């Protein structure tokens, strides 16, 4: 991963470089390999970047990066899995392009130059959060991937528009008031995390997945001192999960064999694309269905044993490492495991506010940190089975849902709206 940050607003600001440097220095853990700052000619915008080198390890991948035409400047976090395909498409349409390197960052910028920002973003397949400045329109654009894998926060501080990959960068912006948003706190207590578009801080928001935000200097200067309402921003949704689901419902696959074949092909292609890197690659293996499937397909695509990593617990009731070890042996991976005690896990707890920036009540954050720390000594990129349960209905609630619906369906239809309101009020005030 990389880290991005920036400040936009107020002409001829001689302090911009130092201010943005302070923001990106708080993101060194995201990008320890390189850093850069770009400031526009009017001193109204500063883009900052911390780089973790994954694709094109040379200086040709340095950011912020400017397009060959000079129109666009971008600070980018993420990876575009189909960027080689996009390059081929660009080369077939525009034979005059002279590439400086092999990074996906350069591919995106040339896409912006030839196709425009909106069309290029719609073509991109991957995980990303980026900020791009259009010199011709004098506009700043922020956008985020379809599902929201890469984080991006934004808001206002002392009349300036600020943004960053983490709240650490926001907190290090000039004059930032660390005022807790009480409505966000309420949402956290209800959901165990702060849902998008809110953040735990007042006047600071998460850019929602699948959206593009653009603003000019005029937009920043007209912002009220206490922030800016989201509905007043120029936000456009370029991709909708709901629309895709509805589209799928109109084109159902009814044969089980066909659906299994298509699923395997899709997973295999996805993992192959996400395994493209110019640095060592590994995977997290818990022994469950999701991670085991990912590791299996990774190993199928690899001519050499892949690196797999597991965390084990000395308390047998919580230990899944024994299953991971069996899977690793069966698949022939180069497996590494680390057994930790309760005290090892407790030592992580004081670090959680620095690791996650805002309240996040998922207990898996502790073993995730421990296995990531272990893997970092050997590889720079690791795949995991995260989100498998969400995509394929792997939680117990999905198993129990038919039983609960059988009970609810016996309730007369005219009473269901009232019952729903009672339950909603109960959770709201309890």
339 neighbors 318 (Cβ within 8 angstroms): no
List the catalytic residues.
Answer: 2
153 neighbors 194 (Cβ within 8 angstroms): no
Q: Say how many CA atoms lie within 13 Å of 311 toward its Cβ.
A: 20
Angstrom distance (rounded) from CA 314 to CA 195: 34
For strand 34-39 and strand 45-51, is the pairing parallel, antiparallel, or unpaired? Answer: antiparallel
Instruction: Tell me which H or E stretch contains 37.
Output: strand 34-39
Which neighbouring-strand residues pair with 284? 309
Angstrom distance (rounded) from CA 123 to CA 273: 15
Angstrom distance (rounded) from CA 207 to CA 144: 7
Candidates 233, 196, 193; CA nearest to 214 is 233
Eight-class DSSP state of 180: B
For residue 5, give every residue at least 6 positions away whose Cβ sits within 8 Å of its Cβ, in sequence order, or none: 20, 23, 24, 27, 48, 49, 75, 162, 163, 164, 165, 169, 173
For strand 126-134 and strand 139-144, is the pairing parallel, antiparallel, or unpaired? Answer: antiparallel
């Amino acid at each position: 991963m990389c880290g991005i940050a920036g400040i936009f607003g107020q002409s001829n600001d001689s302090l911009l470089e130092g201010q943005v440097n302070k923001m990106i220095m708080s993101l060194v853990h995201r990008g320890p390999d390189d850093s850069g700052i770009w400031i526009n000619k009017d001193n109204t915008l500063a883009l900052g970047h911390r780089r973790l080198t994954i694709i094109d390890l040379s200086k040709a991948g340095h950011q912020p990066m400017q397009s060959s035409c000079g129109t666009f400047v971008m600070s980018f976090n993420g990876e575009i899995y189909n960027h080689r395909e996009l390059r081929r498409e660009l080369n077939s349409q525009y034979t005059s392009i002279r590439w400086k390197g092999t990074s996906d960052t350069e591919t995106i910028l040339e896409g912006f130059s030839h196709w425009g920002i909106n069309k290029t973003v719609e073509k991109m397949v991957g995980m990303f959060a980026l900020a791009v400045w259009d010199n011709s329109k004098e506009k700043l654009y922020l956008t985020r991937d379809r599902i929201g894998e890469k984080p991006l926060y934004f808001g206002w501080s002392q009349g300036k528009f600020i943004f960053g990959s983490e709240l650490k960068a926001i907190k290090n912006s000039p004059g930032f008031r660390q005022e807790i948003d009480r409505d966000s706190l309420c949402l956290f207590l209800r959901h165990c995390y702060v849902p998008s578009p809110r953040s735990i801080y007042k006047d600071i928001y998460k850019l929602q997945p699948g959206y593009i935000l653009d603003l000019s200097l005029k937009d920043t200067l007209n912002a009220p001192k206490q922030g800016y309402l989201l509905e007043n921003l120029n936000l456009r949704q370029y991709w909708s999960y709901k629309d895709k689901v509805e589209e799928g419902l109109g084109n159902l696959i009814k044969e089980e064999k066909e659906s299994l074949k298509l699923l395997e092909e899709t997973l295999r292609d996805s993992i192959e694309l996400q395994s493209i890197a110019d640095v060592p690659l590994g995977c997290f293996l818990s022994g469950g269905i999701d991670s085991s499937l990912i590791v299996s397909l990774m190993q199928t695509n690899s001519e050499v044993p892949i690196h797999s990593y597991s965390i084990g617990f000395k308390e047998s009731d919580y230990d899944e490492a024994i299953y991971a070890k069996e899977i690793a042996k069966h698949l022939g991976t180069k497996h590494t495991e680390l057994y930790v005690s309760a005290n090892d896990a407790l030592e992580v707890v004081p670090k959680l506010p620095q690791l996650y920036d805002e309240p996040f009540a998922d207990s898996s954050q502790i073993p995730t940190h421990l296995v990531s720390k272990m893997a970092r000594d050997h590889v720079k990129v690791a795949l995991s089975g995260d989100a498998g349960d969400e995509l394929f209905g792997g939680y117990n609630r999905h198993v129990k849902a038919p039983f609960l619906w059988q009970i609810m369906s016996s309730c007369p239809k005219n009473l269901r709206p009232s019952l729903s309101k009672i339950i909603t009020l109960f959770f709201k005030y309890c």
